[in-house]
């Protein structure tokens, strides 16, 4: 998988798309500035990881925050993926990252392609959702598992 920064720099990940979609995904209903910031802060505190804003080409469910371990030779392990609910939340996430970058220089905004629902790759995904009221970040949300 290739993550592309907004300035066209590329980061190659150790794991493939299949590995990414096997990971647990937490959807954030009504992802306000505070909620997105809380998750970003928790990711940094718990995983000491780099966090990236992910932007897909589709609608809801194609935007999220990825937490990565420190990259070694351009490879990094995906620690967590927080899935946002709608495209409108992109600006909220950008605002959070802009504020966090003031104090943490290792935060970077990335842009990658996520399969659109009309894409032939989208049909390979199996979506399952269940209520997950008490997640480790203190936010109410749904537990979403995406896998091939």
The whole-number pLDDT of residue 32 equals 55
Backbone φ and ψ of 95, nearest 5°: -65, -40
Asked if pLDDT for residue 140 goes beyond 50, the answer is: no
Asked if pLDDT for residue 45 goes beyond 50, the answer is: yes
pTM of the predicted model as reported, rounded to 2 decimal places: 0.29
For residues 107 and 142, what is the distance between their CA atoms, to the nearest angstrom?
Answer: 26
pLDDT single digits (tens) 63-118: 455 544 444 444 344 444 445 544 455 555 556 555 555 555 444 333 333 344 44
Instruction: Report percent pLDDT > 70 for the chain.
Output: 0
Asked if pLDDT for residue 7 goes beyond 50, the answer is: no
Give Rg (Cα) of the chain: 14
For residues 98 and 37, what is the distance between their CA atoms, to the nearest angstrom?
Answer: 11
For residues 29 and 86, what is the distance between their CA atoms, to the nearest angstrom?
Answer: 9
Q: Quick one: how far is CA 142 from the chain centroid?
A: 15
The whole-number pLDDT of residue 122 equals 35
Element of type H or E holding 22: helix 17-22
Asked if pLDDT for residue 123 goes beyond 50, the answer is: no
Element of type H or E holding 44: helix 33-47
Asked if pLDDT for residue 126 goes beyond 50, the answer is: no
Instruction: Give the CA distances from residue 106 to residues 30, 56, 101, 102, in Å, rounded to whole numbers and listed in that order.
Output: 27, 22, 7, 10
**Residues linked to residue 28 through DSSP beta bridges, in sequence order:** 84
Q: Which residue has the higher pLDDT, 10 or 5?
A: 10
The whole-number pLDDT of residue 97 equals 55
Residue with tokens 């194609």: 62
Residue spans per domain, the chain: 2-147
Quick one: average pLDDT of 132-142?
A: 37
For residues 67 and 75, what is the distance between their CA atoms, to the nearest angstrom?
Answer: 13
């Amino acid at each position: 998988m290739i993550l592309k920064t907004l300035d066209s720099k590329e980061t190659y990940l150790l794991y493939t798309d299949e590995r990414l979609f096997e990971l647990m995904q937490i959807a954030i209903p009504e992802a306000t500035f505070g909620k997105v910031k809380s998750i970003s802060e928790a990711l940094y505190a718990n995983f000491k990881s780099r966090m990236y804003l992910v932007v897909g080409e589709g609608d809801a469910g194609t935007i999220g925050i990825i937490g990565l371990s420190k990259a070694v030779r351009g490879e990094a392990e995906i620690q967590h993926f927080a899935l946002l609910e709608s495209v409108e939340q992109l600006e909220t996430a950008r605002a959070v990252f802009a504020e966090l970058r003031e104090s943490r220089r290792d935060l970077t905004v990335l842009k990658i392609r996520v399969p659109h629902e009309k894409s032939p790759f989208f049909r390979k995904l199996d979506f399952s959702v269940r209520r997950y009221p008490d997640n480790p970040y203190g936010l109410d949300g749904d537990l979403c598992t995406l896998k091939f």
